[in-house]
């Protein structure tokens, strides 16, 4: 009997040890989850202007007063913007990227209980990838030289600072590379091609959003309705006659006093993939393939006809 009692006492004494170990693991998991959830909550609060952000150039400021570099307009002056949510540095916490119609970008990052913002014009951040890398390009100020430098950079963060690391850079003349650089060092064409073929990138997908919306169907909902109507074509691509074709679904008009419809357009972009990398062209659509309208009250989606706006 004494042995049984002693055994039971040992088991009772050991239970807190297992309990502490389990609680610690749960706390760690909960803390990681809380950071990711807190980031999203604070992004939404910043978008609603309930909290300020800390801009790298403007200091403590409301998000709506942050400015896009190309036109120096306040974020709050735009009716429709685009957003992408992705983990750029692999820390398990998403960054929130806002894109202007001119394809400038503002990156929001959660760190130490605050939201920090960093801005890029469309040349310095031309195309963003899901892993936090991005393509950029720079044209020589002397237009007669036909020199365009393109490259791929990686975004990282050091506390509240953003860190940009160059991965590769090409010096192009007439759209063809003549010099190749990896990590800042000049390399041969073959060395660059080995790197390029081993580092496939996936472009980040953006969808529209508004800082405020008086309608039941927001711009983001209207965009999703239109993209579903089109078969989820946004971000897809195909090859034709040596050209890579990308498809984007874009909201071009919001509802007004005279109309309760969003106008949504399916656009086609052309990029010419040389063996030395991507030819860079201005980020303007070459073709409008289809135009839709989405009712901001009911969510009904149909192809555009003039009579829609006459109320027929």
End residue of a domain, out of 163, 198, 233 = 198
End residue of a domain, out of 165, 198, 231 = 198
Three-state SS at 148: strand
Residue 298 maps to a domain: yes
Cβ 152 vs Cβ 133: under 8 Å: yes
120-133 in b/e form (b: 16+ CB < 10 A) is bbbbbbbbbbebbb
- pLDDT score recorded for residue 149: 87
Cβ 217 vs Cβ 296: under 8 Å: yes
Q: What is the pLDDT along the chain (312 residues), one digit of tens a residue?
A: 545 445 444 544 443 433 333 333 344 444 455 889 999 999 999 998 999 999 998 899 999 999 999 988 899 888 889 999 999 999 999 999 999 988 899 999 999 999 999 999 999 998 899 999 999 988 765 555 677 888 999 999 999 999 999 999 998 876 677 899 999 999 999 999 899 889 888 889 888 888 878 899 999 899 999 999 999 988 777 765 556 678 888 888 889 888 899 999 998 877 654 445 444 444 445 688 999 999 999 999 999 986 544 444
Residue 10 maps to a domain: no
Q: Are residues 168 and 267 in the same domain?
A: no
- pLDDT score recorded for residue 259: 87
Q: Are residues 75 and 184 in the same domain?
A: yes
Cβ 101 vs Cβ 124: under 8 Å: no
d(C-alpha 253, C-alpha 293), whole Å: 9
91-110 in b/e form (b: 16+ CB < 10 A) is eebbbbbbbbbebbbbbbbb
Q: Are residues 84 and 188 in the same domain?
A: yes
Residue 130 maps to a domain: yes
Residue 208 maps to a domain: no
Q: Are residues 191 and 239 in the same domain?
A: no
Q: Are residues 190 and 52 in the same domain?
A: yes
Residue 173 maps to a domain: yes
- pLDDT score recorded for residue 283: 45
End residue of a domain, out of 174, 198, 222 = 198
- pLDDT score recorded for residue 142: 53
Residue 85 maps to a domain: yes
Phi, psi of 192 (to 5 degrees): -65, -45
Q: Are residues 162 and 238 in the same domain?
A: no
Cβ 108 vs Cβ 100: under 8 Å: no
Q: Are residues 57 and 180 in the same domain?
A: yes
Residue 172 maps to a domain: yes
Q: Token pair for residue 96? A: 């929130």
Q: How many domains does the chain have?
A: 2
- pLDDT score recorded for residue 29: 44
Q: Are residues 76 and 158 in the same domain?
A: yes
Q: 159 CB contacts (<8 Å, ≥6 apart)?
A: 111, 112
Q: What is the pTM of this model?
A: 0.75
Q: Are residues 121 and 185 in the same domain?
A: yes
Q: Are residues 257 and 146 in the same domain?
A: no
Polymer length in residues for the chain: 312
Q: Are residues 219 and 278 in the same domain?
A: yes
Q: Are residues 222 and 159 in the same domain?
A: no
Residue 62 maps to a domain: yes
Q: What is the dihedral of CA 260, 252, 267, 125, to 10 degrees?
A: -140
- pLDDT score recorded for residue 252: 86
Q: 246 CB contacts (<8 Å, ≥6 apart)?
A: 203, 235, 236, 237, 268, 269, 270, 271
Domain that holds residue 63: 47-198
């Amino acid at each position: 009997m004494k042995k049984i009692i002693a055994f039971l006492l040992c088991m009772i004494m050991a239970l807190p040890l297992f309990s502490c170990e389990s609680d610690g693991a749960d706390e760690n998991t909960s803390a990681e989850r809380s950071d990711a959830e807190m980031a999203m909550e604070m992004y939404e609060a910043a978008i609603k202007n309930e909290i300020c952000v800390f801009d790298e150039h403007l200091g403590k400021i409301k998000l709506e007063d942050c400015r896009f570099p190309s036109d120096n307009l306040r974020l709050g002056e735009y009716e429709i913007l685009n957003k992408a949510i992705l983990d750029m540095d692999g820390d398990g916490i998403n960054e929130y990227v806002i894109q202007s119609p001119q394809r400038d970008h503002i990156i929001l990052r959660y760190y130490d209980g605050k939201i920090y913002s960093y801005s890029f014009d469309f040349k310095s951040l031309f195309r963003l990838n899901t892993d936090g890398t991005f393509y950029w390009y720079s044209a020589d100020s002397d237009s007669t030289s036909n020199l365009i430098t393109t490259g791929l950079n990686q975004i990282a963060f050091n506390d509240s600072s953003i860190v940009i690391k160059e991965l590769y850079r090409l010096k192009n003349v007439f759209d063809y590379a003549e010099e190749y650089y990896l990590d800042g060092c000049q390399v041969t064409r073959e060395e660059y091609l080995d790197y390029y073929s081993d580092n496939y990138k996936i472009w980040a997908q953006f969808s529209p959003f508004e800082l405020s919306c008086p309608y039941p169907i927001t711009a983001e909902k209207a965009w999703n309705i239109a993209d579903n109507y089109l078969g989820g074509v946004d971000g897809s691509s195909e090859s034709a006659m040596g050209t890579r074709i990308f498809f984007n679904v874009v909201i071009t008009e919001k509802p007004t006093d005279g109309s309760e419809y969003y106008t949504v357009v399916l656009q086609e972009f052309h990029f010419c993939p040389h063996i030395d990398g991507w030819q860079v062209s201005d980020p303007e659509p070459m073709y409008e393939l289809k135009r839709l309208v989405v009712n901001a009250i009911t969510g009904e989606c149909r192809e555009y006809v003039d009579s829609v706006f006459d109320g027929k």
